[in-house]
Amino acid sequence: MRGSPPSHTCLVMKQVLAAVALAVLIPWPSSGSTAAPHGYPERPVRVLMPFPPGGGTDIVGRILAQRLTKALGQPFIVDNRAGAGGTIATDIVAKAPRDGYTLLASNISVAVNASLYPKLPYDTLRDLAALAMVGQQPNLLLVHPSVPAQALRELLDLARSQPRQLNYGSGGYGSSTYLATELLKLMTKADIVHVPYKGVGPALTALLAGQVQIFFSTLGPALPYVKAGRVRALGVTTSQRSAYLPAVPTIAEAGVAGYEYSTWYGIWLPSGTPHAIGGRLYREIETLVLAPDVKEEFASQGVDAVLMPPDRFDAFCRAEIEKWARVVRATGARPE
């Protein structure tokens, strides 16, 4: 009857629908007492790593995997599946069972690959659930000692006077090292040739051997070689100088106004993983990332511990996907 108060059944249904909507909007709580089902984890957990050992992503992921093993009483086993700019490992996670036993430890490449690869075997936003950002660090513009440039302006002058004669290494298409260089090329019109490798470790090795002349390395792996004089640092990609190398100017200071870039690291789960499992994992990661010993270990690798919960990390990833899609379109970058 029109104007009659809603029945008890209708009220209950509205409450149920409201609860379901809230659960969708808030993927995993950062606090509370939600218990993971059946005492999760009851067996080893696989942590997919999209790059080979030695790079920043691998270092950060292994630190967390070791701590999660101790905290949750089951092995968190790192599985390096390098190749295709990180999409091989990401695809494995995207297609894994939604049971919390497969995680992805990756970086900014997850966001970039969404536009860099026109036909990914997965949908980044549909198939992956952002669990937590855990850290970030600047990249360093490095050159081999054989390069005569002592400053960024001199390097750019050299690249302009000798187009396509200088090579730059990267950790693969879509990697942080690739993006940092392509952004510089876009802003300066420097014509240098890309040589992709399967991760930061192999690319840094190639720079040390003089097989490439330029490399935007993440800070941690490069620090020992910079301090030993085996490579020369010409700039830091962030807006502020790094406390680890205070004498090295930012790239903006060195002559490319407005340039800014940082590598960030995060953890993802397959979409559809039960909320209780995601919540349990996030709360453990939150505790670990905020712990002084983990902050110190991150810092020893040049990484700043930065915690971002699921809802904020999801929004951040969506914004990064849009940002780097614009860069990919502007540069015409495509996998080779």
Q: What is the mean pLDDT of the chain?
A: 88
- Does the pLDDT of residue 293 top 90, yes or no? yes
Q: Give domain status of residue 246, yes or no.
A: no
Which pLDDT value is given to residue 100? 97
Q: Tokens standing for 64?
A: 């967390």
Residue 271 shares a structural domain with residue 228:
no
Residue 97 shares a structural domain with residue 121:
yes
Residue 149 shares a structural domain with residue 226:
yes
CB 270 within 8 A of CB 127: yes
Q: Give domain status of residue 283, yes or no.
A: yes
- Does the pLDDT of residue 18 top 70, yes or no? no
- Does the pLDDT of residue 283 top 50, yes or no? yes
Q: Which domain holds residue 219?
A: 139-236
C-alpha 164/C-alpha 192 separation (Å) is 5
> Which comes out higher in pLDDT, residue 28 or 317?
317
Residue 183 shares a structural domain with residue 164:
yes
- Does the pLDDT of residue 12 top 50, yes or no? no
Q: How confident is the model at residue 336 (pLDDT cuts 50, 70, 90)?
A: low
Extract the runs of DSSP E, i.e. beta strands, from 59-108: 76-80, 102-107
Tell me the whole-structure pTM to 2 decimals: 0.77
Residue 177 shares a structural domain with residue 187:
yes
Q: Give domain status of residue 3, yes or no.
A: no
49-59: b (≥16 Cβ within 10 Å) or e: bbbbebbbbbb
CB 304 within 8 A of CB 137: yes
Q: Give domain status of residue 111, yes or no.
A: yes
- CATH number, domain of 290, equals 3.40.190.150
Q: Give domain status of residue 199, yes or no.
A: yes
C-alpha 55/C-alpha 57 separation (Å) is 6
- Does the pLDDT of residue 255 top 70, yes or no? yes
Instruction: Please give the tally of structural domains in the chain.
Output: 2
- CATH number, domain of 174, equals 3.40.190.10
Residue 195 shares a structural domain with residue 50:
no
Residue 117 shares a structural domain with residue 155:
no
Residue 144 shares a structural domain with residue 131:
no
Provide, rounded to the nearest whole percent, the portion of the chain with pLDDT above 70: 88
